[in-house]
Amino acid sequence: MCDYVQEEEWPATAADLDRACCFASGERVLLTSGIHDSFTGIAPGQLLRHLRQLRRQGMTNPVAIGAIPFDTRAPWHLVIPEQWQWIARERLLPACHCQLHGKVCEVTDAAHYQGAVREALQQFSEGQLEKIVLSRAIDVQSAQRTAPSQAYGSLLAQNPGAYVFQVPLPEGETLLGASPELLISRNDMTVVSNPLAGSRPRHAFCEQQAACSDLLQARKDRYEHALVADAVAAALSPFCRELEVPVEPQVIATPTMWHLSTRIEGRLREPSTALELALALHPTPAVCGTPQEEARQAIARLEGYDRHFYSGAVGWMDADGNGEWVVTIRCGMLAGKTLRLYAGAGVVVGSSPEAEWQETAAKLGTMLRAFGLERREPEVAA
């Protein structure tokens, strides 16, 4: 039975937490136990009907939670848990941070990545692309197996403002991350999306006001951000009778980055579900590019690896269609002793291959610092 349980009724063990889906939003974490149903792909309306049927059969507040890949034609991983609860975020904070000991190897080296950026810039000059997001990956090879719940606790502690997630996958891997970017939230008829694009690394010696002013005045970053915010607003517009889109972006901070941010709020015309809205938005130009199909093709050709769930969407939906979905960034895939981490950067006219490489390095720092590896220099994989 898929049941909501009271927080005090469910003292989870470390092994329970390793197998749980977790989704932190604000001061609370959605925590699951067991699997009642699982899906590798399902239409939003069909999922809503299934959740409502379970509720009619006596299941208390059924929810679906999981991950959608970058390429939605690939297998998804959504589950309806046997039990779930909202738990105070502080209850999952670890007594000590997770420390990995091993070597960090580049999956995509600097020469390959910067060459891909140069090739993309050539496509801009030919009028084929306006923006593309090019990503890279690194592997952390640890001497010992890392428990997913231990890694999740470290991410939770070091990223208090992020949507911190853990999704166990069927082949023994675990998707982990601390995303700053809300793809969509739906609460009754109110929806919110918070696209981020245009970024700078944070430096300890850099004064906050100067850094924010510099980013707000950067023509390249403002253009990159406008492409994303405009695309999100255009995708939401058919669903909304009211839509508020700020004229100017704000600057938000994560532990390692500054981002241009636009918070878009709307009121729905019809009760479209959180999953339906997420699929209408995904992938945004924040993780793919513009035009979308041309960017997809260029990504497949230039990156040299399969993104899988990186730059997809992670989230949940209940039987009323409410839910939250975030963009799967600042993330990694944990499998035994190997942790693969991902980061990307938006490339537009005026981008520098070296600067985009440095931006991805700063974004990788979110995950590396959670495991005590932020100062490790990656080696080149053989």
pLDDT digits (tens, 9 = 90+) for 147-191: 899 899 999 999 999 999 999 999 899 999 999 999 999 999 999
pLDDT for the residue numbered 267: 99
> 347 pLDDT exceeds 60?
yes
pLDDT confidence bin for 243, thresholds 50/70/90: very high
Catalytic residue among 130, 173, 181, 356, which? 181
CATH class held by domain 3-92+101-380: alpha beta
Catalytic residue among 7, 9, 126, 131, which? 131
pLDDT digits (tens, 9 = 90+) for 48-99: 999 999 999 999 999 999 999 999 999 999 999 999 999 999 988 875 567 7
pLDDT digits (tens, 9 = 90+) for 95-119: 556 777 778 899 999 999 999 999 9
| Annotation marks residue 181 as catalytic | yes
pLDDT for the residue numbered 348: 94
pLDDT confidence bin for 143, thresholds 50/70/90: confident
| Annotation marks residue 131 as catalytic | yes
pLDDT confidence bin for 366, thresholds 50/70/90: confident
Report the 3 state secondary structure along the chain: CCEECCHHHCCCCHHHHHHCCEEEECCEEEEEECCCEEECCCCHHHHHHHHHHHHHCCCCCCEEEEEECCCCCCCCEEEECCEEEEEEHHHHCCCCCCCCCEEEEECCCHHHHHHHHHHHHHHHHCCCCCEEEEEEEEEEEECCCCCHHHHHHHHHHHCCCCEEEEEECCCCCEEEEEECCEEEEEECCEEEEECEEEEEECCCCCCHHHHHHHHHCCHHHHHHHHHHHHHHHHHHHHHEEEEECCCCCEEEECCCEEEEECCEEEEECCCCCHHHHHHHHCCCCCCCEECHHHHHHHHHHHCCCCCCCCCCEEEEEECCCCEEEEECCCEEEEECCEEEEEEEEEECCCCCHHHHHHHHHHHHHHHHHHCCCCCCCCEECC
pLDDT confidence bin for 377, thresholds 50/70/90: very low
